[in-house]
Structure 1
């Protein structure tokens, strides 16, 4: 098993190395996105442990680029962010797991093993918050028309409003106004809420 640790803090990478020492994995390290992409190409890792707050290329963009370079790689996001919306976005972008840096070492090790074996894992407390938020939201399929649903799907896929307008062949203002109307229909106030709802749509 080859693992690549991507974090701009050497102390975090050192801690992960010690945690993984018992597994006898081959481990490489990168402190920024540019170096990480070079190692992805040269080392072809099986598992990537990725921080979201990186200098240069941001974590979400780097996640996307890594999967373009190596679609089969399993990515575990290890972040300072404990909010469920970050986990939701990371999993939507293709990560296999999400853990906060506040997690207990035993749970982190368990999560890394699960993801390395092809499974999915979200830190227990974050997964609970995500489940509660999802349960509290209305079923979008009963409230939205087909255009609404398509816009929500595209938001969930990480498209900007400009990109959505180009994809659907409509004006930017039309997309923005429709997003506002969708939020009103669903009783939510943030675009992040629409992105979470995209999980519930067919094909989302």
Structure 2
């Protein structure tokens, strides 16, 4: 590409923003701006007028999914690429339905973000390897449901986590021992391949906001 490409990264983790900058430094045609929240990202989008917006899902003040329409309303020519830790096919589908043109995860090869930028600027849709594989598997599955491997109790617990309930509150509401709830949460993390409780809570909240 001969023209300079302006990329806005909306991401609240400094180490991820720094990693993006290091990757973009390999390409003299890329100029990066950054924002750490949804509100800041919307303002920076209007000021910077980027060609590409690299957008995290779990922002501190909003879901990245929710601000895609407003980002595009303010900057119609921009291409949005979701850059997330989540590989669930339903997340990919939601992103594309909201107007995103790419979806990569933080488990993809670092070069994937450069490939995604080039691809979406050419007018195509780009899916990282991890989500493309999950999407293909989901299309073979009976239901496109990220919670399909959970039992009824585990689904209940996920719903309550998404409503902001603590494990103590969940144990009271479901009339279960705290240890039973804790064991169920551990099983859910294993089934969803989510490593920490904080990441699981973010997943539950984001799943609730988009369904």
What is the TM-score of this pair, normalised by structure 1?
Answer: 0.63
CA RMSD of aligned residues (A): 1.9
The unaligned stretches of length 5 or more in structure 1 are 139-191, 196-204
| TM-aligned CA deviation for residue 137 of structure 1 | 5.5
CA distance, structure 2, for counterparts of residue 136 and residue 84 of structure 1: 11
Structure 1 runs (4+) greater than 6 angstroms displaced: none
Say which SS state the counterpart of residue 111 (structure 2) adopts.
Answer: helix
Where do 1:115-130 residues align within 5 Å?
115-130=120-135
Q: Deviations over 1:64-103 (max 9, x none)?
A: 2101211221011000101111111101111010011111
Counterpart selection for 2:10 from 3, 6, 23? 6
> Which structure's residues are more often helix, by fraction?
1
Who is 2:46 aligned against? 41
Where do 1:17-96 residues align within 5 Å?
17-24=21-28, 25-96=30-101
Where do 1:187-198 residues align within 5 Å?
none
Q: Deviations over 1:139-170 (max 9, x none)?
A: xxxxxxxxxxxxxxxxxxxxxxxxxxxxxxxx
CA distance, structure 2, for counterparts of residue 88 and residue 11 of structure 1: 27
Say which SS state the counterpart of residue 105 (structure 1) adopts.
Answer: coil
Figure out how many residues of one structure are paired with residues of the other and give that number. 140
CA distance, structure 1, for counterparts of residue 66 and residue 141 of structure 2: 30
Q: Deviations over 1:37-84 (max 9, x none)?
A: 111111111000000000112211111210121122101100010111
Who is 2:104 aligned against? 99
The unaligned stretches of length 5 or more in structure 2 are 144-206
What is the TM-score of this pair, normalised by structure 2?
Answer: 0.61
CA distance, structure 2, for counterparts of residue 99 and residue 58 of structure 1: 16
